[in-house]
Amino acid sequence: MVKQKKDKNKLPEFTFPVPMYYLMKLLTKSRLTTIKLGNFETKCMKRKLRKINIEKPIYVIGLARAGTTITVEMIGEHPDVAFHMHMHLIDPFIPQILHYIAKLLPFIFRKKVERVHKDGLAINRNSPEAVEEMLWMRFFDELHNEQLSNIKDSNTSNPKFEKFYTESIRKLMISKKSTRYVTKNNYNITRMEYLHKLFPDVKFVLVIRHPINHIASYIKQERIFLDLEKENDKIRDWITKVGHIEFGSEKVFINLNSKENIDKIRALLEKEETFVRAYAFYWKLVYEYTTDLLSKNKELAKQTLVIRFEDLTDNSEETIDKIIEHLELDKEKSAELREKYIQKLHQPTYYKPSFSDEELATIKEETYEIAKLYGYYEE
């Protein structure tokens, strides 16, 4: 399905962080304990928190493997921006306490390694990480239940979560000495209206990728995670607890208000001859949902910048400028990251799609109507 290429400049491989895993399990074992710890930290920071306002928070969204990670990594290099880091996977409920612990242990996980996804992206403890899903999971039951709609819209209300969540963001901003917040969380694609309700000046960056390359990357990632689970039985528990369940045996598809569509995906996955169709159908559902949402909600559309991964990598200068302008980031402070990522961004070289003609036809059949709206499949 996907041919691998050897990378001569390969980064050191990521090794499963056993101490970090057990510490995370200990600290996040009880829902009540984690919330109490977070509230205790908030109480200690009460005076500082009064001075912090959350303005124009940034949400990078898209289906997994669209290019959201490199996008949030780039935005995170702006000096005004705070984000959850890899070290926050231990316990995102106490970001300030973890900040002090990290200062006491400066030698832990400082050297960059290739992340577990084996996609050439280098990480260390300070790298941006999709952590905030752990906060959502603590306050919303059945959040990843495929049999229920996962959509959180403007009618959603959870005062306890909203208070805790906003306090967590403000604490993170204090620890990073920043004025803006950015996060990458693929599941937030179903929460745009709710987040707009919480933060009326919110900024979204929605990343879309050509379905052929996107699905090839998705399937490649799926196989990597299944192999990792065989090598280490703790991986399965780890990704479930931190909410990274886009891949592997615990994989959960996003229910976009249709149990029937989820059932269809699961049925397609059971047969080898319809395996690719399952992921093509899922791609269509996700971007059909966002396209429809933005066409109906004009205010949300104004606050959302849609970028194609191919434009980010192949037309980096213009696309980065669009992102900076949309997010209203200080242009002078953006100069360094701008120049760095103009040089850094490129199409993946470590693999390439290897679909049969029949599989390519299947992908095009399922995704054509939505993909063509974004300039794909142009004759």
- pLDDT tens per residue across span 205-223: 999 999 999 999 999 988 8
More confident residue, 365 or 350: 365
Q: Is residue 379 part of a domain?
A: no
- Which secondary structure element, helix H or strand E, spans residue 359, and what is its range? helix 357-371
What are the tens digits of pLDDT across the range 263-316? 999 999 999 899 999 999 999 999 999 999 999 999 999 999 999 999 999 999
Rounded to whole angstroms, the Cα distance separating 314 from 341 reads 11
Q: Is residue 67 part of a domain?
A: yes
Q: Count how many domains the chain has.
A: 1
More confident residue, 19 or 182: 182
Q: Is residue 272 part of a domain?
A: yes
Question: Can you give the residue range of the structural domain that contains 255?
Answer: 2-374
Q: Is residue 63 part of a domain?
A: yes
Q: What is the pTM of this model?
A: 0.89
Q: Is residue 6 part of a domain?
A: yes
Q: Which residues contact 92 (CB under 8 A, 6 or more apart)?
A: 84, 131, 132, 134, 135, 168
- Residue 236 binned pLDDT confidence (cut-offs 50, 70, 90): confident
More confident residue, 133 or 117: 133
Q: Is residue 12 part of a domain?
A: yes
Is the per-residue pLDDT at 10 higher than 60?
no
Is the per-residue pLDDT at 114 higher than 80?
no
- Residue 303's domain is classified under what CATH number? 3.40.50.300
Q: What pLDDT, on the 0 to 100 scale, is given for residue 3?
A: 43
Q: What pLDDT, on the 0 to 100 scale, is given for residue 16?
A: 60
Is the per-residue pLDDT at 110 higher than 70?
no
Q: Do the Cβ atoms of 337 and 77 come closer than 8 Å?
A: yes
Rounded to whole angstroms, the Cα distance separating 230 from 9 reads 27
